[in-house]
Structure 1
Amino acid sequence: MGTDVGAGSMRPGLELRRVHVHDSEAPEATVVTPSVFVAVREEQGRLLLVRRCDSGGWELPGGRVDVGESAVGAAVREVAEEAGLRVRITGLVGLFTDPAHIVEAATGREIRQQFVVCFHGWAVWGRPHPDGHETADAAWFDPADVEALRLEPGARRWIHHALSGASDPHLE
C-alpha cells in the first residue's frame, strides 16, 4: 500500500514523497538508486534514529550514494549530515533490494526502486542532533522502545535485521 510520507508532516508546505511497499497501485520504477543506511550503536547498546522533517517518521540515518563515492563513505557522510555523529562502519546488516519497494520523489519526476545497503556502525564522536533540513530530530533509543515508534515504510525491516544479532547479513 502506498504511503504519503508527508501525512502528519513536521514542516507544513514541504513537498511530499510517496513510498510504496508491495502496493499494486504503485507506479513503475524508472531508476534503481543505491542508498545506504546505518544502524549506529553506542556503549549502552542504544540505537541511533533520525526523524524525517517531511513525514515525522523515524528511520536509520542514511541516503543516496553520490557519484564517485563508496558505499561506506556515503554511510559515514550521511550519519554526519543527518545526525551530527562521526561513526565507524563495523559490518553489514544486509542488502535490501525488494523491487516492490518504490519511492516517488516529491517532484514526481523520479520513481525509484529502493536498493539499500544497510551497515552496522559504532558511534566514535559527537552527540546526536538533527540537521534541520532533512532531519527534525536525532536520538538514541533502547532497542525495546523502537517497536512503538512511527517508523518510515521499509525501515522496520532494516532495523529488525540490525537488532536480530544474526551473524550473516540479510540478502535479497
Structure 2
Amino acid sequence: MSRVDHINNPDAPEPNSVVPSTVVFVTNEEGRVLLIQRSDNGDWALPGGGHDFGERIADTAVRETKEETGIDIEVTGVIGLYTDPGHLIEYGDGEVRQQFSIAFRARPTGGQVATSAESVRVAWIDPSDLDRLPINPSMRMRIDHGLGKRSEPYIG
C-alpha cells in the first residue's frame, strides 16, 4: 500500500481516521539508531505502528519493533507525543489519518536484524549519517528529540 505524508499542505485531503500509534527510538552500545527503510514510501524511519485492541501502548512499541526489525527491545521512557493536525498520512486505500504518535525510548535486548513487509532495509545508523537519508521532517524531529535526550517529553 502506498503512503504520502502531507505536512501543512493546504491541498491535502480531509482526514477520516485517527489511530494511536508508536515509534521507537532504539540505540545500541555504539550510539547507532535503529531505522527501517519503509516499503510504502522509501523513507527511513523509526520502527513503529498502530495500537491493537487488548494491548498496552508500550507493548505496541515492543511488538512493532520486533515485527519490522527483528530486534527485541525494552521500553525505557517516553520521548514525546506527536499529534500535529497539520500532519496527515494518506494511504492508497483512501484512508487519510491524522497523526497521533507516541515516541518511546528503548534499548535492544536481543534478536537479529531482519526485514519485513513494512521494511525493505533495517540498519543501525550512525547519527552523523542521518542527513544523507531521505527522512520525513516529522520523523526527523522525533529522531532529533531522541538524540537530544530531552528532560521532559515533547508534547505537540
Q: Could you report, residue by residue, the CA deviation over 1:67-94 in whole angstroms, capped at 9, with x for unpaired residues?
A: 2221100000000000001000010110
- In 2, are the aligned partners of 1:95 and 1:118 still within 8 Å (CA)? yes
- In 1, are the aligned partners of 2:4 and 2:41 still within 8 Å (CA)? no
Measure the CA separation in 1 of the matches of 2:129 and 2:3.
Answer: 27
Measure the CA separation in 2 of the matches of 1:130 and 1:56.
Answer: 13
Q: Could you report, residue by residue, the CA deviation over 1:85-142 in whole angstroms, capped at 9, with x for unpaired residues?
A: 100001011000001110112111x2110100000010000222211x1110101011
Measure the CA separation in 2 of the matches of 1:17 and 1:153.
Answer: 15
The list of structure 1 runs, each at least 4 consecutive aligned residues, that deviate by more than 2 angstroms after superposition, is: none
**Pick aligned residue for 1:127 from 112, 115, 118:** 112
- In 2, are the aligned partners of 1:46 and 1:142 still within 8 Å (CA)? yes
What is the correspondence of 1:60-79 to structure 2 with a 5 Å cutoff? 60-79=46-65
**Aligned positions, number:** 156
Query: Which residue does the alignment assign to 2:97?
Result: 112
Matched to 2:154, the amino acid is: H
- In 2, are the aligned partners of 1:19 and 1:153 still within 8 Å (CA)? no
Matched to 2:107, the amino acid is: W
- In 2, are the aligned partners of 1:42 and 1:122 still within 8 Å (CA)? yes
What is the correspondence of 1:72-151 to structure 2 with a 5 Å cutoff? 72-108=58-94, 110-131=95-116, 133-151=117-135
Q: Could you report, residue by residue, the CA deviation over 1:18-45 in whole angstroms, capped at 9, with x for unpaired residues?
A: 2101101111112211110000111111
Provide the secondary structure at the position in 2 that maps to 1:140.
strand
**TM-score scaled to structure 2, two decimals?**
0.95
Gapped regions of structure 2 (runs ≥ 5)? none
Q: Which has the higher relative contact order, 1 or 2, with Cα contacts under 8 A spaced 6 or more apart?
A: 2
Q: Could you report, residue by residue, the CA deviation over 1:4-23 in whole angstroms, capped at 9, with x for unpaired residues?
A: xxxxxxxxxxx422210110
Provide the secondary structure at the position in 1 that maps to 2:132.
coil
Provide the secondary structure at the position in 2 that maps to 1:147.
helix
Measure the CA separation in 1 of the matches of 2:91 and 2:104.
Answer: 24
**2:23 matches 1:37:** yes
Q: C-alpha displacement at 1:153, in angstroms?
A: 4.8
| Larger helix proportion of the pair | 2
Q: C-alpha displacement at 1:152, in angstroms?
A: 3.2
Identity level (%): 41
Gapped regions of structure 1 (runs ≥ 5)? 1-14
**Pick aligned residue for 1:161 from 145, 149, 152:** 145
